[in-house]
Structure 1
Amino acid sequence: MLSIKNLLKVSLILLILVSIAVYGLYLSMRSELPSVESLKDLHWQTPLQIYSQDSLLISQFGEKKRTPLTLEQVPKQLIDALLATEDDRFYLHFGVDPIGMGRAVLGKLMGQDKGGASTITMQVARNFFLTREVTYTRKIREIFLSFHIENLLTKDEILMLYINKIELGHRAFGFGAAAQVYYGKEIHELNLAQIAVLAGLPKAPSTLNPIRSPKRAKARRSVVLQRMLVSGYISDLEYQTAKNAPITGKKHGAEIELNAPYVAEMAHNEVLKRYGKDKAYTAGYKVFTTVTAKLQTAAEQALINNLLNYDQRHGYRGPIASLRADVSSTTSTSDRAIVPLSTEELTKAFSDATYYQMLVPAIVIAVEDKSVSIQLRNQETATIEWQGLAWARPYINDQKQGPPPKAAKDILKYGDVILVSKMADNNYRLGQLPTASAAIVSLSPNDGAIKAAVGGFSFKQSQFNRVTQAKRQVGSNIKPFIYSAALEHGFTLASLVNDAPINQWDKSSGVVWRPRNSPETYVGLLRVRLALAQSKNVIAVRLLKSIGVRNTIKHLTSFGFDASDLPRNETLALGSASLTPLEVATGFAAFANGGFLVEPYLIERIENSEGEIIYQADPAIACDPCIQNDLAADNVQALDLMSDDNSNHPTTIEGEQKTAPSIEEQPIEIKQANRIISPQNAFLITQALNSAIWGADWSAKHGWQGTGWRARTLKRRDIAGKTGTTNEAKDAWFSGFSRNIVTTSWIGFDDPRHILGQSVYNNNLGKNQTTGKEFGAKSAQPAWIDFMRIALAEAEPTAFQPPVDIVSVRIDKATGKLTTKTDKTSQFEYFRLDKVPTEYVSEDNSSEILSGDQQQQEEELF
Structure 2
Amino acid sequence: MSILSSAVKFLALPLAATNYRKNLRRTLVALGIDGILAVGLLVGAMLLTVLPSLPSFDVVTDYRPKIPLRIYTDDGALLGEFGDEHRDFTPIKDIPPVLKDALLAIEDSRFYDHSGVDYRGVLRALVADLTGGFRQGASTITMQVARTFFLSQEKTIKRKLTEVVLAYRIESALSKDQILELYMNQIYLGQRTHGFASAARTYFQKRLPDLTLAEAAMLAGIPQNPAKRNPAVNPLRAKARQQLVLKRMLQLGMITQAQFTEAVGQPLKISNTLRFEAHADHVAEMVRQRVYAQYKGDTYTQGFNVYTTLNKAEQNAAYDSLRRNVLAYDQRHGYRGPEGFVDLPDNADDRDEAIDRILAKHPSSDNLISAVVTEVSAKRVLAEPASGDTIEIKGDGLRFAARSLQPNAKMDIRIRVGSVIRVSQDSKGRWAIGQMPEVDAAFVALNAEDGSYRALVGGFDFSRNQFNHVTNAWRQPGSSIKPFVYSAALEKGYSPATLLNDAPLSLPGGEGGQTWEPRNDDGFDGPMSLRQALARSKNVIAVRLLQAISPQYARDYLQRFGFDAAKHPANLTLTLGSGSVTPLQMAGAYAAFANGGFPVAPQLIRKITDARGNVLWEAPPPPPRDDTQRVIDERNAFIMDSMLREVTRSGTGAQASQRLGRSDLAGKTGTTSDAFDGWFAGYSGNVVAVAWMGHDQPKSLGNREFGATLALPIWIDYMRQALAGKPPTERKAPPGVSLVDGDWVYDEFKGDDGVKALDVEESPLKSIFDTLRKAFGS
Seen in structure 2, the aligned counterparts of structure 1 residues 106 and 53 have a Cα distance that, compared at 3 Å, is same
Out of 285, 304, 310, the residue aligned to residue 291 of structure 1 is 310
2:457 counterpart residue number: 454
Shift of 1:250: 5.5
Aligned to 1:161: 182
User: What residue identity is the alignment partner of 2:564?
Assistant: D
Q: What displacement does 1:450 show? A: 2.3
Amino acid at match of 2:644: L
Change (3 A) 1:537 1:39: same
Which residue does 2:695 correspond to in 1?
749
**Aligned-pair distance for 1:798?**
0.5
Instruction: Specify which of 383, 388, 394 is matched with residue 383 of structure 1.
Output: 394
Counterpart amino acid of residue 177 in structure 1: S
Partner of 2:323: 304
**Count of aligned positions:** 709
CA distance in 2, matches of 1:236, 1:301: 44
**CA distance, structure 2, for counterparts of residue 589 and residue 125 of structure 1:** 58
Give the AA of the match of 1:155.
K
Please show how residues 477-556 of structure 1 align to structure 2 within 5 Å. 477-497=480-500, 499=502, 501-506=504-509, 511-512=513-514, 514-519=516-521, 521-522=523-524, 526-556=528-558
Which secondary structure does the structure 1 equivalent of 2:575 belong to? Answer: helix
Residues 375 and 383 of structure 2 are in contact (CA less than 8 Å); yes or no, is this contact kept in structure 1?
Answer: no
How far apart in 1 are the matches of 2:496 and 2:598? 21
Opposite residue 595 of structure 1, the aligned amino acid is G
CA positional deviation for 1:802: 1.6
**AA of the residue aligned to 1:583:** Q
Distance between the aligned counterparts of 2:240 and 2:656, measured in 1?
Answer: 64
* Higher Rg: 1
User: How far did 1:586 drift?
Assistant: 1.4
Structure 2 partner of 1:42:
63
CA distance in 1 between counterparts of 2:497 and 2:135 reads 96
For the residue of structure 1 that corresponds to 2:469, the secondary structure is coil
| CA–CA separation in structure 2 for the residues paired with 1:561 and 1:720 | 20
Separation in structure 1 between the aligned mates of residue 768 and residue 524 of structure 2, nearest angstrom: 8
Match of 1:205 among 218, 226, 230: 226
Q: Deviations over 1:673-713 (max 9, x none)?
A: 95211211111111222222334xxxxxxxxxx33333341
Matches of 1:226 and 1:422, distance apart in 2: 37
Consecutive unaligned residues of structure 1, counting only runs of 5 or more, are 1-14, 325-339, 395-404, 628-672, 696-705, 759-772, 811-827, 842-853
CA, structure 1 residues 448+144, in 2 after alignment: closer, same or farther (shift >3 Å)? same
Choose which of 434, 438, 450 in structure 2 pairs with 1:435: 438
- Of 486-495 and 685-694, the range deviating more from structure 2: 486-495
Report the CA distance between 1:516 and its aligned residue.
Answer: 0.4
What's the secondary structure of 1:49's corresponding residue? strand
The answer to whether the Cα contact below 8 Å between 2:520 and 2:540 also exists between their aligned partners in 1 is no
| SS at structure 2 position matched to 1:596 | coil
The alpha-carbon distance between structure 1 residues 558 and 128, as it changes in their structure 2 partners (threshold 3 A), is: farther
Contact 1:310/1:779 (<8 A) preserved? yes
188-197 vs 742-751, which moves further: 188-197
Q: How many angstroms does 1:57 deviate by? A: 3.4
CA RMSD of aligned residues (A): 4.8
Between the aligned partners of 1:390 and 1:728, the Cα distance in structure 2 is: 26
**% identical equivalent positions:** 39
Q: Any conservation in 1 of the 2:681–2:691 contact (CA below 8 Å)? A: yes
In the TM superposition, residue 166 of structure 1 has moved relative to its aligned partner by: 1.8
Residue 161 of structure 1: CA displacement?
A: 0.9
Q: In the alignment, is the contact (CA less than 8 A) between 2:652 and 2:669 conserved in 1?
A: yes
Corresponding residue for 2:277? Answer: 257
Q: Deviations over 1:546-584 (max 9, x none)?
A: 544444333222222234433344432221121121211
- The CA distance in 1 between the partners of 2:679 and 2:257, in whole Å, is 67
* Distance in 1 between residues matched to 2:416 and 2:150, nearest whole Å: 62
After superposition, the Cα gap between the structure-2 partners of 1:540 and 1:160, relative to the gap in structure 1 and judged at 3 Å, is same
Structure 2: which amino acid aligns with 1:624?
R
More displaced, 532-541 or 211-220?
211-220
Match of 1:724 among 660, 664, 670: 670
Secondary structure of 1:161's aligned partner: helix
Q: Deviations over 1:447-488 (max 9, x none)?
A: 222223333333344333322232111111111112222323
| 1:833 equivalenced with 2:747 (yes/no) | yes
Cα distance in 2 for residues equivalent to 1:44 and 1:439: 38
Query: 1:262-281 alignment to 2 at 5 Å?
Result: 262-276=282-296, 278-281=297-300
How far apart are the structure 1 equivalents of 2:435 and 2:753? 61
SS at match of 1:468: helix
Deviations 1:466-512 (A, max 9, x none): 222321111111111122223234433344555555544459x8735
Q: Which residue of 2 aligns with 1:647?
A: none
Residues of 1 paired with 2:521 and 2:294: CA distance? 49
How far did 1:318 drift? 3.9
Deviation at 1:195, TM superposition (A): 4.9
- Structure 1 pair 153–465 and aligned structure 2 pair: CA distance change class (3 A): same
SS of equivalent residue, structure 2 residue 184: helix
Match among 40, 60, 65 for residue 86 of structure 2: 65
SS of equivalent residue, structure 1 residue 284: coil
Tell whether 2:524 aligns with 1:579.
no
1:734 to 675, 680, 683: 680
Q: Choose which of 676, 682, 686 in structure 1 pairs with 2:637.
A: 682
What's the counterpart of residue 691 of structure 1?
646
**Cα distance change, pair 169–242 in 1 and its aligned pair in 2 (3 A):** farther
Structure 1: how far apart are the matches of 2:425 and 2:260? 43
Aligned to 2:36: none
The answer as to whether partners of 2:551 and 2:572 remain within 8 angstroms in 1 is yes
Going from structure 1 to structure 2, the CA distance change for 1:114 and 1:93 (only over 3 Å counts) comes to farther
The two structures have a TM-score, normalised by structure 2, of 0.76
Whether the 8 Å CA contact 1:589–1:598 is kept in 2: the answer is yes
Partner Cα distance (1:135, 1:343) in 2: 36
User: 2: CA distance between counterparts of 1:161 and 1:100?
Assistant: 23
Gaps of 5+ in 2: 1-39, 756-765, 774-778
Cα distance change, pair 252–594 in 1 and its aligned pair in 2 (3 A): same
Equivalent AA in structure 1 for residue 717 of structure 2: D
- The 3 A distance-change label for structure 1 pair 502 and 256 is same
CA distance in 2, matches of 1:562, 1:75: 57
Hey, what does 2:654 align to over in structure 1?
709
Deviation at 1:800, TM superposition (A): 2.6
1:599–1:619 CA contact under 8 A, matched in 2: no
Secondary structure class of the residue paired with 2:467: coil
Q: CA deviation at 1:291?
A: 3.3
Q: Is the 8 A contact 1:180 1:253 kept in 2?
A: no
* Counterparts of residues 71-150 of structure 1 (less than 5 Å): 71-76=92-97, 78-80=99-101, 90-91=111-112, 108-110=129-131, 113=134, 119-133=140-154, 149-150=170-171
1:474 aligns with 2:443: no
- d(CA) in 1 for partners of 2:686, 2:312: 18
- Distance apart, 1:731 and its partner CA: 1.1
**Retained in 1: the 8 A contact 2:355–2:372?**
no
How far does the alpha carbon of each residue in 1:361-417 deviate from its partner, in whole angstroms, 9 at most, with x for none? 58596766xxx33335443545324x97389789xxxxxxxxxx9999999777677
**2:441–2:458 CA contact under 8 A, matched in 1:** yes
Indicate how the Cα distance of structure 1 residues 581 and 107 shifts in structure 2: closer, same or farther if over 3 A, else same.
same
Instruction: Give the corresponding residue for 2:734.
Output: 803
C-alpha distance in structure 1 between counterparts of 2:697 and 2:178, whole Å: 59
Shift of 1:729: 1.8
